[in-house]
Amino acid sequence: MKPIAADEMFPEGIDVDDQSAVVLDSLHDGQKDIHSDFFNDFDDLFDEEDSSTSKYEANVEFSNGRKMTFNTGNLAKFTDGCVVVKTGDTAVMCTAISSKKASSSASFLPLSVDYRLKSSAAGRIPTNYMRREFGSTEKEILASRLVDRSIRPLFSKDYRFETQIVCNVLSVDSLNKPDVNAINAASAALHLSDIPWNGPIGAVRVGLFKNDLIINPTRRELQVSDLDLIVVATKQNLVVMLEGRGNIVLLPNILKAIKQGTREAQFIIDKIEKMRKELPNVKPKREEQEMNIMDEEMLVALKTMSEMRLKDVFRNTSHDKISRDQAVQVIRQEVITSLRSSFPDSDLAIISDEFNRQTISTFRDFVLEENVRCDGRDFDELRKISCEVDILKALHGSALFTRGQTQVLCTVTLDSKESALKLDSLTALESGVKEKNFFLHYEFPPYSIGEIGRIGAVNRREIGHGALAEKGLLPVLPPNSPFTIRLNAEVLESNGSSSMATVCAGSLALLDAGIPLSSLASGVAIGLISKYENNDTKHIENYKILTDQLGIEDYMGDMDMKVAGTKKGITSIQTDVKIPGIPLKIINECLQKATDAKSEIIDIMRECIDAPRSEKKESWPVTEKMTIEPHMRSKIIGPGGINIKQMYFETGVQMTQIDESTFEVFAPSQSAMDEAKEFMQKLMEKDRVPDLDFGGIYTAKIVELRDIGVMVTLYPSMPPALLHNSQLDIRKVAHPSALGLEVGQEITVKYFGRDPVSGLMRLSRKVLQSPASVRVKNLDKTSENR
């Protein structure tokens, strides 16, 4: 069969409705029957009105009068759900699609969230060479994690269908941030779709200004707000996710903000539920396919062989992370081998998954029933903590913080303000900050958990943990630091809450670097293990709060709440919930225990260092503000800044102009600063202008002959000045060569000051040809004597 070209299939001028007929006519008679069914379905696709085309708009009004608009049915109709949420002129479109076939290889929910903020949404063009967006920015990654942590807890634990949420920022204005819109759009898209999901949820941002709470504050309000907290909640005021930073906010204000945010989220939840009821032809939720369940006989055998042995492992307080994991792995292998021999037709993957469930169930029952933790600690007890500073003496600051088997090494680098982190245009537009003079880089190498892996590119987890630790330290830094501060945190061992250990190690390292912190800051992770009443996810029957949780308690528990701050208040908070919401009562208890724990940690840290290092290190950089007179500025800077560049390459010293006559000088050490001052002093001495007397007579050297006169210098470093033909001789001179003048020849001239308009020297040789006798001054010898 001869292939049909596209322009032959759909000739110009043919409507879409007639395209199927055109193609049928172009096919051979024997092929018409084969393709007729396809084109009948093709026609039905255009004729049939899909339920997703039903347009709907709903407005949510909060207690302070601000509004949020939900819109569906207009865009992306091939998705399972699509909703656009607008606040002001900031609009975010979220799409949700879930595979119709379960993933056979997934052992957990295969959910991916992608948040995209393109330059076009702000009316900008990317500044890279290709003028287009490439990989995700740090801001996009943090927003993606924010949405993921909000919606993931409400999926069934056995849901194994690949699901993708795409949050596309359509437009951003100068007032409203889009991240909260993205969470609410994802909630609405999932709830209106046929994807099984136990939502909806609602998200609001809460600010705090002069002890007054602000719901969904604008960017300008956030700049003066002491709190930036995102609260995500479900019905019955259950908290699903918390994320925020604070300017050392008191605990009562945090609790009040969470409570108010949970209440305001109910307006969103009610509106999303109303949308699903009022929209026509909404698809019912899919029936979840039952996962492969182990045979009852095998299940009993597995529990019999593993339960008591696992409890014995968890009771053994001599185990550490590695030995405990190895002991559980030994039991796993023996149980799987025994079951495979007794049940040859059994599926290895099903046995492995069921053993994992049994391990988690046994661990949780062990904690709840025996009121003890696997390492022997009380529920409020911290692990053993040790602190060291100045362990790398060649660096500006360093500290090692060890808490149990979690160990973080932090180093501080101080550099000039020119090294500040320049933010991309979209991030600067959203945050109102163009550059950062403090930033934290967090590294989590695979050896920290005893594994082999790739080292190099920063992953999403490292970016998220680093941003959280940075928010925890930022409020205690001095507001006007003369340096750019880079804090590098490397996790050497990890067994629970390395991000909060980074806050502790970073605080110690900054003091070791002489940075005058307003207070020491610390961080702690709080865990939760709960039991539902009659398997009702809305009623918790029993629970245990775990202070300074271990890695195994995080993995097998229900929550990971990270809280950082000073003794006075909280600077950052992040809550990762693994169940469909936690009551406010438990959230309040967890925050109170976190507040007590971080104060205890600060007391231990103060035994190591409690004030900025007063004794200066030789490696410390120094800064000075220097005033340079206007007439000397060009001498020091040089043509095109050549002198400053030379000084930087020779001494490492950088000069930054603050205003017309003030410069800030940064030197990597005091010796470099002294060397730079000597360099500048030589420039000023070399280019020092001698004092010329009005009416004085001087010896001038001819450096150039021109048609209009000669260029002369009165002293070696002087820029050439013009001696005009009219001032060369009492006779009229057409060209200097008529007088026999040559380059290099010395002549006597009289100085009449500078022209008040042009500033050029006024010199004359003609006036000296009169009979009057004068004293000739030789400036070369005069300058040498000086």
Tens-place pLDDT, residues 168-198: 999 999 899 999 999 999 999 999 999 999 9
Q: What is the pLDDT of residues 684-725, one digit of tens each?
A: 765 556 778 898 999 999 999 998 999 999 887 788 889 999
For residue 580, the cross-strand partners are none
Q: Would you say 442 and 465 are in contact if contact means Cβ atoms under 8 Å apart?
A: yes
CA dihedral (63, 67, 70, 71) in degrees, to 10, reads 150
Instruction: Please choose, from the candidates 409, 369, 366, the residue with its C-alpha nearest in 3D space to the C-alpha of residue 387.
Output: 409
pLDDT confidence of residue 461: 93
The overall average pLDDT reported for the chain is 86
- What is Dmax (Cα atoms) for the chain? 133
The distance from CA 128 to its chain's CA centroid, rounded to whole angstroms, is 19
Percent of the chain scored above 70 by pLDDT? 89
> What six digits make up the tokens of 406?
């979690």
Q: Would you say 563 and 595 are in contact if contact means Cβ atoms under 8 Å apart?
A: yes
Spatial CB neighbours of 384, under 8 Å, sequence gap ≥ 6: 403, 404
pLDDT confidence of residue 689: 61
Instruction: Please choose, from the candidates 674, 683, 691, 679, the residue with its C-alpha nearest in 3D space to the C-alpha of residue 634.
Output: 683
Mapping DSSP onto H, E and C, the string for 243-312 reads EEEEEEECHHHHHHHHHHHHHHHHHHHHHHHHHHHHCCCCCCCCCCCCCCCCCHHHHHHHHHHHHHHHHH
pLDDT confidence of residue 23: 34
Q: What is the CATH number of domain 385-532+584-606?
A: 3.30.230.70
The segment with the largest mean pLDDT, out of 126-140, 335-349, 424-438, 597-611, is 597-611
pLDDT at 147 > cutoff 80? yes
- pLDDT confidence band for 3 (50 / 70 / 90): very low
Out of 172-176, 300-304, 774-778, which region has the weakest mean confidence (pLDDT)?
A: 774-778
pLDDT confidence of residue 291: 66
pLDDT confidence of residue 326: 94
The distance from CA 418 to its chain's CA centroid, rounded to whole angstroms, is 20
pLDDT confidence of residue 777: 54
pLDDT at 12 > cutoff 50? no
> What six digits make up the tokens of 350?
């099903």
pLDDT confidence of residue 424: 78
pLDDT confidence of residue 687: 52
- pLDDT confidence band for 774 (50 / 70 / 90): very low
> What six digits make up the tokens of 378?
């009380």
- pLDDT confidence band for 38 (50 / 70 / 90): very low
Region 94-110 average pLDDT: 85
pLDDT confidence of residue 494: 94
- The CATH architecture assigned to 52-124+137-278 reads 2-Layer Sandwich (3.30)
Region 68-85 average pLDDT: 94
Using CA atoms, how far apart are residues 63 and 65, in angstroms rounded to an integer?
5
pLDDT confidence of residue 8: 40
Q: Would you say 591 and 574 are in contact if contact means Cβ atoms under 8 Å apart?
A: no
- pLDDT confidence band for 19 (50 / 70 / 90): very low
Using CA atoms, how far apart are residues 786 and 782, in angstroms rounded to an integer?
6
Region 323-328 average pLDDT: 94
Domain residue spans of the chain: 6-48, 52-124+137-278, 296-370, 385-532+584-606, 622-686, 697-785
622 vs 634, more confident: 622
- pLDDT confidence band for 346 (50 / 70 / 90): confident
Spatial CB neighbours of 113, under 8 Å, sequence gap ≥ 6: 144, 145, 147, 148, 151, 164, 165, 166, 167, 186
pLDDT at 26 > cutoff 60? no
Region 538-542 average pLDDT: 84
If one counts every other C-beta atom within 10 angstroms of the C-beta of residue 735, the result is: 14
CATH superfamily of 622-686: K Homology domain, type 1 (3.30.1370.10)
- Which fold would CATH assign to domain 296-370? Arc Repressor Mutant, subunit A (1.10.10)
pLDDT at 350 > cutoff 90? no
- pLDDT confidence band for 111 (50 / 70 / 90): very high
Q: Would you say 155 and 288 are in contact if contact means Cβ atoms under 8 Å apart?
A: no
Using CA atoms, how far apart are residues 161 and 100, in angstroms rounded to an integer?
7
pTM for this prediction: 0.80
pLDDT at 59 > cutoff 70? yes
pLDDT at 40 > cutoff 50? no
Spatial CB neighbours of 186, under 8 Å, sequence gap ≥ 6: 94, 96, 113, 147, 150, 151, 165, 167
Q: Would you say 430 and 172 are in contact if contact means Cβ atoms under 8 Å apart?
A: yes
Strands 697-706 and 776-777: parallel
Q: Would you say 69 and 269 are in contact if contact means Cβ atoms under 8 Å apart?
A: no
Please indicate whether the domains covering 296-370 and 622-686 agree at the CATH topology level: no
Q: What is the CATH number of domain 697-785?
A: 2.40.50.140
